[in-house]
Amino acid sequence: MIKQLLLAPGPTPVPARVRAAIARPIIHHRTPQFGQLFGRAREGLRELFGTASDVVTLSASGTGAMEAAIVNCFAPGDKVLVVNGGKFGERWLKLAQTYSLVPIELRVEWGHAVKVDDVERVLGENPDIRGVLIQGSETSTTACHPVEQIAALTRTRDVLLVVDGITAVGVYDVPMDKWGIDVLVTGSQKAMMLPPGLAFIALSDRAWQRAASVCQPRFYFDLARERASQAKNSTAYTPAISLIFGLDEALTMMREEGYPRIYARHARCAQATRAAATALGLKLLAPDSPSPAATGAFMPEGVDGGKLHGYLRDKMGVAFAGGQDHLKGKILRIAHIGYMGAFDTIDAVAALEMALRHFGHPVELGRGVGAAQEVLMSALPD
C-alpha cells in the first residue's frame, strides 16, 4: 500500500464530512426535502460569490459553465476581448470561436498577469467590443490576473466582464457585486472540497438583460430557464442530487471556518510553498503575480519534470500537476486549495526534496521544509 496524497489544483481532496453527505440515500428532487436543502445551498453560494444575484448550479464540469456564459451572453458576430495567458485562456478563445464570436486575442506570456493598460488600449481601439473573457487565476501557469482593476474599466462601458473563477472563487476574495463582475463561473472540484460534477455561474443584472436579448442556440445551458426553476429551489432537469448533498455540507464547513480564514490559509500555504521552492533554488513560474491556488516551479536543469512527477505519483504516492504544452516536463505545480492545510504543504515540500535528490539534484534535505515552516509559524495558535 502506498498512501495517496492528492496535491493537484483540481480535483482536490474531499473531506470525510462531505463524502458522508454524498453517500446518503438518494431522495427525489421534486420534493420539499430537496427544495429546503437546495435553498440553503443557494444562499451559501451567494455568500461565496459575494453577490445578491442568483448563482445557478449546473450538472457539468467547470467548462460547462464557461460554455453557458458564452451562449447566454453573446451572439454570433459579437466582438470579445480574450485574455489568453495559458490553457484556460485558450479555452475561452476556442469557445468564442466555436460560437462564431469575433475574438480579439490579447496574448500574455505564460506565468504573467495581463497588463491593465493593454486591456484599456484594446478596449479603446475597439469600441464595439461586447465582452472581456478572462481567468481570475490561470491554473495552468499559476498566475493571477488583475480582475478588480479590469472590472473598473468594463463597469463604465457597455462591456460584460466574464471571469473564469474556477481556481479563484473560494480560493481568495472575488466579491462579484463589489468589483462589478458581470459573469462569474466556478466548478466544484477546486476550492469547494467537492468531487467534480457541479458548475456554478452567476450573472449581474445587466448580464441577465443581455441574455434576454441574445440570439444564440442553447437548450441545456439556457440560464434564464434554469434560473426560473432554481428561484423556486428546484432545477429544470434532474440535478446531481448526491453532489448537492455534498455541496450543502461543504458550504456549511466553509461558513464554519469563515471566508477570511479560508483565504488566509490558502495565502499562507502558497507563501510557504514559494518560500520553500526559492530555498531549494527553484525558479518560480509566476513570480510577479502568483496565484494562491497553486505554485508552479521550474525543475532544475537536467531533471526531467515529467519523470519526477510520475515518480512522485507512482512510487511516492504524491500527486502534483505537471506542465502543459511548452511547459510539459519543465515545471511542477503544487496546489494549496480547498481541503488542504499547513501539513499538506509540509508533506508536499518534503516529498519534492526527496524526489529531487533521487533524480540527482543536490538538495540539502529539510532546507525547503524549514523555509515553509518559518512562514507557517506565523499562524500557529497561542
Ligand X SMILES: *Cc1c(COP(=O)(O)O)cnc(C)c1O
Interacting residue ranges for ligand X, rule: CB under 6 A = 10, 61-63, 88, 135, 139, 164, 166-167, 187, 190, 196
Q: How far is the CB of 125 from ligand X (least distance, A)?
A: 27
Q: How far is the CB of 327 from ligand X (least distance, A)?
A: 15
In the complex with ligand X, the residue whose CB is nearer, 48 or 369, is 48
In the complex with ligand X, the residue whose CB is nearer, 62 or 305, is 62
Q: How far is the CB of 190 from ligand X (least distance, A)?
A: 6
Look up residue 105 and give its amino acid: E
In the complex with ligand X, the residue whose CB is nearer, 46 or 87, is 87
Q: How far is the CB of 139 from ligand X (least distance, A)?
A: 3
Q: How far is the CB of 349 from ligand X (least distance, A)?
A: 22
In the complex with ligand X, the residue whose CB is nearer, 218 or 361, is 218
Nearest residue relative to ligand X (C-beta): 62
Residue 154 to residue 273: CA distance in whole angstroms:
34
Burial class (CB in 10 A: 0-12, 13-18, 19+), 225: middle
Closest to 336 measured CA to CA, from 4, 3, 10: 10
DSSP one-letter code for 54: P
In the complex with ligand X, the residue whose CB is nearer, 29 or 91, is 91
Look up residue 157 and give its amino acid: R
- Asked if 241 and 34 count as a contact pair (C-beta separation under 8 A), the reply is yes
CA distances from 181 to 134, 205, 289 (A): 11, 11, 20
Q: How far is the CB of 187 from ligand X (least distance, A)?
A: 4
Residue 158 to residue 180: CA distance in whole angstroms:
12
Q: How far is the CB of 186 from ligand X (least distance, A)?
A: 9
Question: What is the number of other CB atoms lying within 10 angstroms of the CB of residue 118?
Answer: 14
H helical segments located in the chain? 16-22, 32-49, 62-73, 87-98, 116-125, 147-154, 176-179, 205-213, 223-230, 241-257, 259-279, 305-314, 342-358, 367-377
Q: How far is the CB of 350 from ligand X (least distance, A)?
A: 26
Full DSSP string of 281-345: TPPBSSSSSB-SSEEEEEPPTT--HHHHHHHHHHTS-EE-B---GGGTTTEEEEE--SS--HHHH
- Residue keyed to cell 441574455: 211
In the complex with ligand X, the residue whose CB is nearer, 38 or 88, is 88
In the complex with ligand X, the residue whose CB is nearer, 164 or 353, is 164
In the complex with ligand X, the residue whose CB is nearer, 62 or 322, is 62
Residue 276 to residue 353: CA distance in whole angstroms:
10
